[in-house]
Amino acid sequence: MDKDIAIQVSDLTKMYKLYNKNSDRLKDALGLLRTGSYTEHLALNHVNLTVKKGETIGIIGTNGSGKSTILKIITGVLSPTSGTVEVDGHISALLELGAGFNLEYNGIDNIFLNGMMIGFSEEEIKARMDSILEFADIGDYVYQPVKTYSSGMFVRLAFAVAINIDPEILIVDEALSVGDVFFQAKCYHKFEEFKKQGKTILFVSHDLSTISRYCDRAVLLNQGVILGEGTPKKMIDIYKQVLVGQYPLPENDFKSLLEDEELREAAGRKADGKKSDATDSKTEDKKAGSSVENPELLEYGNNAANITEFYATDSKGLRTNSVIKGTEFTIHMRVKFLKDINAPIFAYTIKNIMGIEITGTNSMVEKAFLEPVKAGEEKVITFKQRMLLQGGEYLVSFGVTGFEQDDFVVYHRLYDALNITVVSDKNTVGYVDMESTVCVTDAKRD
């Protein structure tokens, strides 16, 4: 393994046996079980992953995709069915709530227990005790059995131990979701410190904005197979297609998906590996009507509707890609319906160039349109608002979606279709200007 690699996962497979009844598990262990009394489930299927030293990698995917399994194998909690894992560096892991803790021990005892499991001596743990207790901030509860802790107190102590023993590699599995907002802020601040110190961070999260903000790279797992890895923005866009079941994959051809970037980019436009006539016409319509279109936009949908035109206008009604901060502007989209739809929802979102969604809305939230449409109809939708974003470059995405018998359906989506530049002579902190009015007066004296 190269010296600049922290974690090398090679051809990793994890297979679980799903038994028809509990007694079959014992029979199998004794070699007495007949063939066919269990089914095999591949939690991980020939997975390869390289994590370089100093990288922050986020793993995303639907429930049951194998995210937690791969972290447990890397940390040694689980053994693989086949394949290898090589790790160069001292690992500290925060896995599922309660992992590595004895519920009967108090907090202090568990700090020593966890530290020694990681490989630290009693003296080294004592030297870090004050930092651990200060970060956990659970007061005298540290002397009580952890079985009496709330989930928030539990994760505070666990995370305090994990990040204060000076690891070279930090692995976190969705554990921060149970902490309060102030504790989460403190944890993410620690993430920033670790990144600046060149430490390696590998974590699982369903919070896509966290993946966008903190990760150098994202890995998308689905049903035990890596669908792709790359920039957080690109992987999140693909993940959203997976969530709505509109990311078509060649049958048993995951290898080609990994290697063929063009296939990943165009997957949303292809139903069987070839562009349909409807897709070609949609593309031509947009080129004819849009102002400045992203040539690498990502689009997908079930072809029940087409977004044929999209653009922005300024406060004077002129088409533009530049909006002055503090002025009104309008986002326009034209939609042609190819099928009858009971209640379409029209939406837009605005992201920054890192892929973090800043704002957006839709017609259902705004209660602006809740009517059926017929095939052949066209609708023009406008979103008028005041520009309060800070000066900079932004990307606008468009969508037409809806619900059919309680199922969420995507009729057509265009990701990062339009660029908007916000021109500003005053930028405040963060993404949005609150348009504060500041008043300073002399204090009254008694």
Query: Strand locations in 133-233, DSSP E?
Result: 169-173, 200-204, 217-222, 225-230
Q: What's the first-to-final CA gap in the chain, in angstroms?
A: 73
- Is the distance from CB of 57 to CB of 11 less than 8 angstroms? no
DSSP string, 413-433: EEEEEEEEEEE-S---SSSB-
Are 364 and 370 in contact, with CB atoms under 8 Å apart? yes
Unique residue bearing structure tokens 């920033």: 192
Q: How far is CA 411 from the centre of its chain?
A: 23
The correct CATH number of 5-89+168-237 out of 3.10.20.740, 3.30.70.270, 3.40.50.300, 3.40.50.720 is: 3.40.50.300
Per-residue pLDDT of the chain (446 residues; tens, 9 = 90+): 788 999 999 999 999 988 888 887 888 777 777 776 788 889 999 999 999 999 999 999 988 899 999 999 998 889 999 999 999 988 888 876 666 788 899 999 999 988 887 778 889 899 999 999 998 889 999 999 999 988 788 888 888 888 887 789 999 887 666 566 777 778 888 888 888 898 999 989 888 888 888 899 999 999 999 999 999 988 998 898 888 877 765 444 444 444 444 433 433 333 333 333 444 444 444 443 345 567 778 899 999 999 999 999 999 999 999 999 999 999 999 999 999 999 999 999 999 988 889 999 999 999 999 899 999 999 999 999 999 999 999 999 999 999 999 899 999 999 999 999 998 988 999 899 999 999 999 998 76
Residue-level pLDDT at 293 = 64
Residues sharing a CB contact under 8 Å with residue 50, sequence separation 6 or more, in sequence order: 5, 7, 8, 9
Tokens of 39: 């089914």
Rounded distance between C-alpha atoms, residue 9 and residue 77, angstroms: 15
Give domain limits for the chain: 5-89+168-237, 275-423
Domains 5-89+168-237 and 275-423 agree in fold: no
Sheet holding 5-19, edge to edge: 38-52, 5-19, 82-87
Distance CA(285)–CA(412), nearest Å, equals 14
Architecture of the domain made up of 275-423: Distorted Sandwich (2.70)
Strand partners, 432: 389
**Residue 184: per-residue pLDDT:** 77
Residue 176: what pLDDT?
61
